[in-house]
Amino acid sequence: MENLQCCITSCEKPLDQTYWDNQYQANSTGWDLGQVSPPLKSYIDSLKDKNISILIPGCGNTYEAEYLLEQGFTNITVIDIAPTLVENLKFKFKDNSNINIVLGDFFEHRGVYDLILEQTFFCALPPTMRQKYVWKMHQLLDDKGKIAGLLFNRTFESGPPFGGSQEEYNLLFQKSFDFLKMEICQNSAEKRADSELFIEFQKNSEVLVNLYPFEGITCSGCKNTVSEKFSSIEGILNVSMSSNFAEVLIVSKNEIALETLQKEIAYDIKYKIGKHFV
């Protein structure tokens, strides 16, 4: 599995635009399969409506987008933070009006999509950003929109890529999305065999999914206590706090007043929850 290690520079460096652009400039793209991922190829082949709006975040060399275009799909957007990559893609697809290539931060992107394809984007993000990922995915999808793609079902000594487990994903995505499929992938690329889950999640448009900044927690025990406090509030369906305790994802039936949330944690003056991101 050493081929999955993506970088030649220290992965302790910030995983920012400079970091990822350096990978493409150095052609250090060990995660790149060189072809459309077999599970996503099979999934794309099952899609009937060629006019649905599709987003591929952290798109990389985006063989998936290339395959979609070959199959006649007409409304594809790809986004990546690396300028070198994006310039290459703009040249590659310069004569194709069915693809929109965006240089930018996924978490600042605006739009509404029927389908978001997940292919080595989630695993490239620092694990502290996973709650933010769920929030943003929910925000970008249409009412019946879906996420489909691959998540690692294993851990790594370092990253990126960063791994995870089905149990973790259940807790992270529950209530924000309806799970149509989450199963061990049977047709992974050879070097990823037995290490992937194929997912298909549909947005739960009956709930609110909000992400709040949080201050004051310094340990996992306190994190669990605060999460339990929030979970006890009427109308809240799921609470998930980031691994660095800086953000909390709250899924609820209705808008929960900030004052209600702050009151629940007032037993410790260090704890402060801010207004949710928009």
* Partners of 236 in the β-ladder: 252
pLDDT at 1: 36
pLDDT of 174-202, one tens digit each?
A: 999 999 999 999 999 888 888 999 999 99
Q: What's this model's pTM, rounded to 2 decimal places?
A: 0.93
237-242 long-range contacts, Cβ below 8 Å, gap at least 24?
237/175, 237/207, 238/171, 238/174, 238/175, 238/176, 240/131, 240/134, 240/171, 240/172, 241/131, 241/214, 241/217, 242/128, 242/129, 242/130, 242/131, 242/132
Per-residue pLDDT of the chain (278 residues; tens, 9 = 90+): 333 333 333 345 688 899 889 888 887 776 778 889 999 999 999 999 999 999 999 999 999 999 999 999 999 999 999 999 999 999 999 999 999 999 999 999 999 999 999 999 999 999 999 999 999 999 999 999 999 999 999 998 887 999 999 999 999 999 999 999 999 999 998 888 889 999 999 999 999 999 999 999 999 999 999 999 999 999 999 999 999 999 999 999 999 999 999 999 999 999 999 999 99
* Partners of 178 in the β-ladder: 202
pLDDT at 12: 54
